Amino acid sequence: MAPISSTPSTSTPTTPPSTVRPLILGSTSRYRRELLERLGQDFKVAAPNVDETPHPGEAPRALAERLALAKAREVALRHPHAIVIGSDQVADLHGEPLGKPGTHERAVEQLRRMSGQTVIFQTALAVVCMDTGFERSDLAAVEVQFRTLDGAEIERYLRAEEPYDCAGSAKSEGLGIALLEAIVSDDPTALVGLPLIRTARLLRAAGRTLP
């Protein structure tokens, strides 16, 4: 085996890689956290301090877009060096916003109203970095056709899955898929809470390296 030379290298040193900005998900939703993990990025989670009350007469799409951007901005103000993702989802039933039911009774009412109807799930996304002045947003509208549901079906579903933290009371990634006739979307994970195609696009634009 040849001896290891102790002679200092005369080659030009390589430039060290630039510091990667931290990535923060401005949401405490476990669904969004699990989705973002699929992009293979190191990130932290921060809870945004944002009032989610709709403005009088505010359309579902406008509400989702406003809240996604407000969440990203609020967390970015506390972490100006980071790239921050904010997201929000509002179920749109003929122009009326439906949020998270929170209780069994409200979930029953939501599903009764959505039975046999087409509901648009407006999933908004925002990416903000205060240091660089980067701020962009996007929205994925997912069209969901619900089956005609009877009271017993609704009760069985809610008792089994308890989707009280989901906009529209239906978890399509779980048993909720059995409530549906069809889903139309150009960003498959949007209905779960975070449109990953759009997220990857905005993260690349903000300077993150993705495949």
Catalytically annotated residues = 88
Kindly state the tokens that stand for 62: 């406008």
Closest CA to 90 of 118, 67, 112: 67
* Residue 101 Cα distances to 97, 127, 132, 152, angstroms: 12, 27, 38, 19
Structural domain boundaries of the chain? 23-206
Angle formed at CA 110 by CA 104 and CA 113, multiple of 5 degrees: 140
- State phi, psi for 148 to the nearest 5 degrees: -75, 120
pLDDT of residue 66: 98
Domain 23-206 has what CATH class?
alpha beta
Q: How confident is the model at residue 173 (pLDDT cuts 50, 70, 90)?
A: confident
Rounded percentage of the chain residues whose pLDDT exceeds 70: 91
**What global pTM score does this model have?**
0.85
Closest CA to 195 of 122, 145, 117: 122
Residue 8 has pLDDT above 70, yes or no: no
> pLDDT digits over 87-128, tens only?
999 999 999 998 889 999 999 999 999 999 999 999 999 999
Report the pLDDT averaged over residues 144-149. 97
> pLDDT digits over 17-50, tens only?
335 899 999 999 999 999 999 999 999 999 999 9
The C-alpha atoms of residue 86 and residue 33 are separated, in whole angstroms, by 12
Closest CA to 93 of 68, 59, 118, 66: 118
